[in-house]
Amino acid sequence: MKKGISVAIVGGGIGGLAAALSLLRAGVDAHVYEQARTLGEVGAGIQISPNASRILHRLGLAEQLTATGVKPVALHQRRWDDGRTLLRAPLGELVEKTFGAPYYHLHRADLLDALASALPSQNLHLGHRLTTLVDHGDSTEATFENGTRIVSDAVVGADGIHSVVRRLAFGPEHPNFTGCAAYRGLVPAERLAHLNLETTAQIWMGPGKHFVHYFVRGRRLVNFVAVVEQDTWTRESWTDRGDVSDALAAFEGWHPQLSEILRASDETFIWALFDRKPMARWSVGRVTLLGDACHAMLPFMGQGAVQSIEDGANLAACLAGISSAQVDESLNRYERLRLPRASHLQSLSEENKRRFHLPDGPAQSERDEVMASGTTDWSLQAIAWLYAHDAELLSAPGE
């Protein structure tokens, strides 16, 4: 049997690890190179819709996800002041039956642990910070700060919004501050037992702000994200400490349930939301990108990590069974299949920023009427294009 090609993945986050598992499953010799000396994720929740959970189940992670995750029964969009329901879209058993895979709420660290535990230890290399990258035409050569030099058939940049691979392959560029910052935190569920919270993803929409909360880690924790608009920001970080009192002040006058959640939090972090405009291309020669390295998006569709998981599955399908001489062509095919979909989701996420934050008035009333009609992005009939997608299938116009 012919040995598969070799791929070096730079970045050991959710996208990089999922890509490595998909590539190994496809017979590709994939290795992950992560700059940190230990794998870690921020304490925050993540939503995994069926278009990604079907991939994770194929990778053998169903048992771990079921043990640590939560399957919400609905997505509940509500008005900021009185809590009135604007749209309640079913999830749970109906989504799983309709699309053949479940919808999960997870702690990001639990998902990362599940991915890392499935990856053979010899395929994960920690403490490797990329410094140079050379495409020799018939191979790639990557050098790391610790002196390691590796030669492979292809390099994949899964190294996030500050991607070194992107900079080395495409040149420098700067992210765009979206005018939003998010307070995020985790609250022990027993502190909020008196609220009788449903097992749903609740999105509260109001003038210039929105608030999201849902259970993670087997309903033991409540994850919240409180998004506010502001004019400027100087840092991109998930780990800047925020002040609970500032978050409470920002949501003063909103439904009391939200202040109850904030007051029950021991700490909060503030996270500026940055994005990048869709790229014209992701691949050059034997180098390509995935996840936030090429399509960083606002979290208002819950698809950032999900799309990186799709990227990895599609990349593996494109590279399965090929020879080294076919790498350039296969990476271009991956780009043709993935770039339009990811770019569309970037645009939808940007549009949701406007929709979520409308001031009370005619535009808000019109939005609410449309939501009540069941034709918006998260209603079941409108979301099929997203949830039913199977990234392992190599099909697109002209394919």
Amino acid at 175: P
Q: Would you say residue 178 has pLDDT above 50?
A: yes
What pLDDT band is residue 238 in, cutting at 50, 70 and 90?
very low
Mean of the pLDDT values across residues 128-156? Answer: 98
Looking up tokens 């020669």, which residue turns up? 285
Cα four-point dihedral sign 156, 238, 107, 53: negative
What is the spatial distance between Cα 36 and Cα 30, in angstroms, rounded to a whole number?
19
What is the spatial distance between Cα 56 and Cα 112, in angstroms, rounded to a whole number?
12
Q: Would you say residue 233 has pLDDT above 80?
A: no
Say if CB 204 and CB 197 are below 8 A apart. no
What pLDDT band is residue 398 in, cutting at 50, 70 and 90?
very low
| Full set of structural domains in the chain with CATH | 1-38+126-175+276-354 (3.50.50.60), 47-102+176-275+358-390 (3.30.9.30)
The catalytic residue among 33, 104, 183, 214 is 214
What is the spatial distance between Cα 372 and Cα 379, in angstroms, rounded to a whole number?
10
* Residue 396: strand pairing partners: none
How does pLDDT run across 158-172, given as a tens digit for each residue? 999 889 999 999 998
What is the spatial distance between Cα 372 and Cα 214, in angstroms, rounded to a whole number?
22
For 102-137, b/e burial (b = at least 16 CB within 10 A) is bbbbbbbbbbbbbbbebbeeebbbeebebeebebee
How does pLDDT run across 6-23, given as a tens digit for each residue? 999 999 999 999 999 999
* Residue 32: strand pairing partners: 9, 124
Mean of the pLDDT values across residues 220-229? Answer: 96
Say if CB 157 and CB 33 are below 8 A apart. no
What pLDDT band is residue 335 in, cutting at 50, 70 and 90?
very high
How does pLDDT run across 56-109, given as a tens digit for each residue? 999 999 999 999 999 999 999 999 999 999 988 889 999 999 999 999 999 999
What pLDDT band is residue 36 in, cutting at 50, 70 and 90?
very high
Check if 214 is active-site: yes
Say if CB 252 and CB 118 are below 8 A apart. no
Mean of the pLDDT values across residues 310-339? Answer: 97
Q: Would you say residue 336 has pLDDT above 50?
A: yes
Q: Would you say residue 258 has pLDDT above 60?
A: yes
pLDDT at residue 278 in the model: 87
Mean of the pLDDT values across residues 284-298? Answer: 95
How does pLDDT run across 182-215, given as a tens digit for each residue? 999 999 999 999 999 999 999 999 999 999 999 9
Amino acid at 82: D
How does pLDDT run across 373-382, given as a tens digit for each residue? 766 656 677 7
Of all residues in the chain, what percent carry a pLDDT higher than 70?
94
Nearest Cα to 358, choosing from 346, 375, 343, 371?
A: 371
What pLDDT band is residue 272 in, cutting at 50, 70 and 90?
confident
Strand 85-90: give its sheet, edge to edge.
85-90, 74-79, 200-206, 209-216, 221-229, 176-188, 269-275, 240-241
What pLDDT band is residue 220 in, cutting at 50, 70 and 90?
very high
What pLDDT band is residue 370 in, cutting at 50, 70 and 90?
confident
